[in-house]
Structure 1
Amino acid sequence: MSFQQDFHTRARAAERAMRQVFPDTPLQRNVHLSERFECDIWLKREDLSPVRSYKLRGAFNAMRKVLDGDATSKLFVCASAGNHAQGVAFMCQHFGVFGVIYMPVTTPAQKVQKTQIFGGDAIEIRLVGDYFDDTLAEAQRFCEAEGGHFLAPFDDEDVVEGQASVGVEIADQMGGAPDHIILPVGGGGLSAGIRQYFGPTVSYSFVEPAGGTSLEAAVAAGEPVTLEKVDSFVDGAAVARIGAYPFEVLKDIDPATVFAAPEDRICVTMLEMLNVEGIVLEPAGALAVDALVDVADQIKGKQVVCITSGGNFDFERLPEVKERAQRFSGVKKYFILRMPQRPGALKEFLSTLGPDDDIARFEYLKKSARNFGSVLIGIETSAPENFETLFARLDEAGFPYRDITSDEILAEFLI
């Protein structure tokens, strides 16, 4: 039996065992996206699993393998700030074993509470460290000292095998392999599992957040490398270093098949899926759908599967998502205006606004001179081209301004 056949057999065995715990997730044809991109688009809804992500699959398979073996310890340990923690907690409850889950102190309370709900008395949550690296190091120290089993989120053969069950279900639900699969990438466990399962019978696109392109960096270097900086907005896929085992599976992919999705564009996709389809996706869960615009020319007329990998979205983040989406779409801008300190100046400025221009922010920052003041202004409008008209009117009226919408430093302090 070849390695590919052996993995295929083991992935199918893992998928069969999972049916004792939870049903398969739906594979749904999406009419809106299919018409927009002129192909046959299906969504593999991992956001509808019992923990609203695919992560419980790898946790199940890794724990199953340990418990089916000769292990004397039934203590399981993991470090996670989100979906992996919830998957491990759910499976600790199912298998009747005890788990210690380390989470950063900065983890949102909603995620901590959901993890506790899934695990109940079968888990203990320990909040350690401001940064994940500190949390991970402490979890590994504890696990080694107590002789427990450490459950890695992606860099583990049994975990990858469990994630491959997503591919098993796709094949069974479609009656075969699709033409193309768009895979979200964080640590690489899901993408490695599905690529290993389908092999060359399918073409792939791999998409990771622009602020965490660990796969792109690894493919370019020929080995996993650690990114110096990672944007944590897409928290389910913002990984500084792709897993060593997943990279062994992915190292020969064509670099042209790896795409970086801008975080603000992902926000546009999240809102579109929510408003048009009623589908709640977390940023990482929207990656595959977001990348459709990058591969539009390649997928026309084909059968395409997008894996919506997670739906653990905290709605307290919705204002931020809307804000970022508006800025990316060009319908919201921030600028600093030099306002004359004289009667009628404000009224004169207001007259430059068009019928669809709304003031979303107006804040005096300081008087930069006796006769002038700096004002932070946020404007929302109905179409990006409206700003060309507005700025022309400001120039004509003699109002000096500076567009700071894309200035990361000023935006961080002022917006």
Structure 2
Amino acid sequence: MSASDFPARVAKAEEALRELFPATPLQLNEHLSARYGARVFLKREDLTPVRSYKIRGAFNFMRKRIEEGSATGRFCCASAGNHAQGFAFACRHFGLKGRVFMPVTTPQQKIEKTSMFGGEAIEVELVGDFFDDCYAAAKAYSRDAGAALVPPFDHEDIVEGQASVAREVLAQLAGETPDLVVMPVGGGGLASGMTRYFDAWDGPMPAMRFVEPQGAPSLRTSLERGALTRMPQIDGFVDGAAVAEIGAIPFATLKRFSPQDVILAPEGRLCDTMLRMLNIEGIVLEPAGALAIDALNSLADEIAGKTVVLVVSGGNFDFERLPDVKERALRYEGLKKYFILRLAQRPGALKDFLNLLGPEDDIARFEYLKKSARDFGSILLGIETKNAANFPALIERFEREGIRYQDITDDQIVADLLI
């Protein structure tokens, strides 16, 4: 495939997508525009039929296999999230049989949504505890059954389908070029596709910024090292973008950028962004879907007066995760801390301790860790406050009164064990 015909191939992909859904909205967001002094547009990929952009690439890949006559009538994929749902929807649209391989640990809600989108067209098979296990099973099935394996991001046809987002953006801006386009990055199919389309466009080139979860910086690390790099360990909280290694095809497009063009979004700050968009705008976002919006926190000093397009990549959020999202946001903002205290086992000791709390301090967790201690008792204590500045004063009172304590808020290993 030549680079020169990429825009034409993207145009054909977008035209075919209209069989499934209209162009997703490009909305001027008044709240974010006022907050940052810019014209901030949201490209609402959370409003596709499967609530993410992933349907674009999966549909395009399958369409092209059918058109070229190489499809055997069966397709398969490995995914525990948005790719599976887009794949399932496309299988039902084409009336073809598909099999989705998911880890055994996949939440039931995701399994049910995938089955709902695919209906009788698909089968779901649970294999292994991790993605690599089900990906190996999908490859084996593809080989043995002659099924076409639909990759999540590392394929030209996937990139081509995701690039249709950029084509829609330019059409919706009616010839205006945005000053800045901010895109989330996981495997890189969306970011590389949009970048390639803007590269080939005959108008002015907008500036580009890419956003990854802080706990899974595969693009940023690869750019820093000048070569495709696999992360030995990642934080999987941002499950829609927590990828250990960006795709080779996407990286070939994105490797010209500087590591400074990649913004790393702390997971706690991302949770705060999700809650703000839910409470203020009524927009439900999954963690990966909030990445581009969260990047505004890092871009505030350079976007005043500019036109900014943010790609909102998905809204498949399981509300059972909401308590964890709130918890992470409070801890990131410094409004909640956890301590292990050693209190004397004497009458009145607990009352004396409670008198140290300020008027805005609230006990959110209180648990004896060792109830049989004779002289001192160990207590797990969670405190929420209305102002982060209250904690230094509280800790000063602890020390003045000789309270033995350990702040475990940011000690991930201890916090995971006890909290």
TM over 0.5: yes
Secondary structure, in 3 states, of the residue corresponding to 1:347? Answer: helix
1:115-264 → structure 2 map (5 Å cutoff): 115-176=114-175, 177-199=177-199, 201-264=205-268
Cα shift readout 1:322-345 (whole Å, capped 9, x = no counterpart): 000000000000001111111111
1:379-390 → structure 2 map (5 Å cutoff): 379-390=383-394
Deviates more, 1:50-59 or 1:197-206: 197-206
Question: 8 Å contact 2:71–2:148 — kept in the other structure?
Answer: no
CA distance in 2, matches of 1:382, 1:271: 17
Secondary structure, in 3 states, of the residue corresponding to 2:370? Answer: strand
Cα shift readout 1:249-306 (whole Å, capped 9, x = no counterpart): 1111122101111111110111011011110000000000111111222222110011
1:264-279 → structure 2 map (5 Å cutoff): 264-279=268-283
**Structure 2 segments unaligned to the other structure (5+ residues):** none
CA distance in 1, matches of 2:83, 2:15: 21
Question: 8 Å contact 1:368–1:374 — kept in the other structure?
Answer: no
Deviates more, 1:33-42 or 1:77-86: 33-42
Cα shift readout 1:11-43 (whole Å, capped 9, x = no counterpart): 111111111111111111111111111111000
Question: 8 Å contact 1:181–1:205 — kept in the other structure?
Answer: yes
Deviates more, 1:169-178 or 1:151-160: 169-178
Q: Displacement of 1:146 after TM fit?
A: 1.1
Aligned position for 2:335: 331
Cα shift readout 1:95-154 (whole Å, capped 9, x = no counterpart): 111101100000000000000000000001000010100110110011011111110000
CA distance in 2, matches of 1:265, 1:134: 31
CA distance in 1, matches of 2:132, 2:225: 23
Aligned position for 1:377: 381
Which one of 353, 360, 370 corresponds to residue 357 of structure 2?
353
* TM-score between the two structures when normalised by the length of structure 2: 0.97
Secondary structure, in 3 states, of the residue corresponding to 1:295? Answer: helix
Q: Displacement of 1:222 after TM fit?
A: 2.4
Which one of 278, 284, 305 corresponds to residue 280 of structure 1?
284
Aligned position for 1:364: 368
Question: 8 Å contact 2:42–2:309 — kept in the other structure?
Answer: yes
Which one of 397, 401, 404 corresponds to residue 400 of structure 1?
404
Deviates more, 1:193-202 or 1:376-385: 193-202
Does residue 93 of structure 1 match 2:92?
Answer: yes
Q: Displacement of 1:398 after TM fit?
A: 2.2
Secondary structure, in 3 states, of the residue corresponding to 1:294? Answer: helix
One-letter identity of the residue aligned with 1:165: S
Secondary structure, in 3 states, of the residue corresponding to 1:99? Answer: strand
Which one of 310, 316, 323 corresponds to residue 319 of structure 1?
323
Deviates more, 1:114-123 or 1:19-28: 19-28
* TM-score between the two structures when normalised by the length of structure 1: 0.98
CA distance in 2, matches of 1:276, 1:147: 49
**Structure 1 segments unaligned to the other structure (5+ residues):** none
Identity of aligned residues (%): 58
Secondary structure, in 3 states, of the residue corresponding to 2:369? Answer: strand
Question: 8 Å contact 2:65–2:71 — kept in the other structure?
Answer: no
Aligned position for 2:21: 22
Cα shift readout 1:37-62 (whole Å, capped 9, x = no counterpart): 11110000101110000000001111
Q: Displacement of 1:170 after TM fit?
A: 0.4
One-letter identity of the residue aligned with 2:182: I
Aligned position for 2:314: 310
One-letter identity of the residue aligned with 1:169: E
Using a 3 Å threshold, how does the CA distance of structure 1 residues 397 and 72 change in structure 2: closer, same or farther? closer
Does residue 33 of structure 1 match 2:32?
Answer: yes
One-letter identity of the residue aligned with 1:238: A
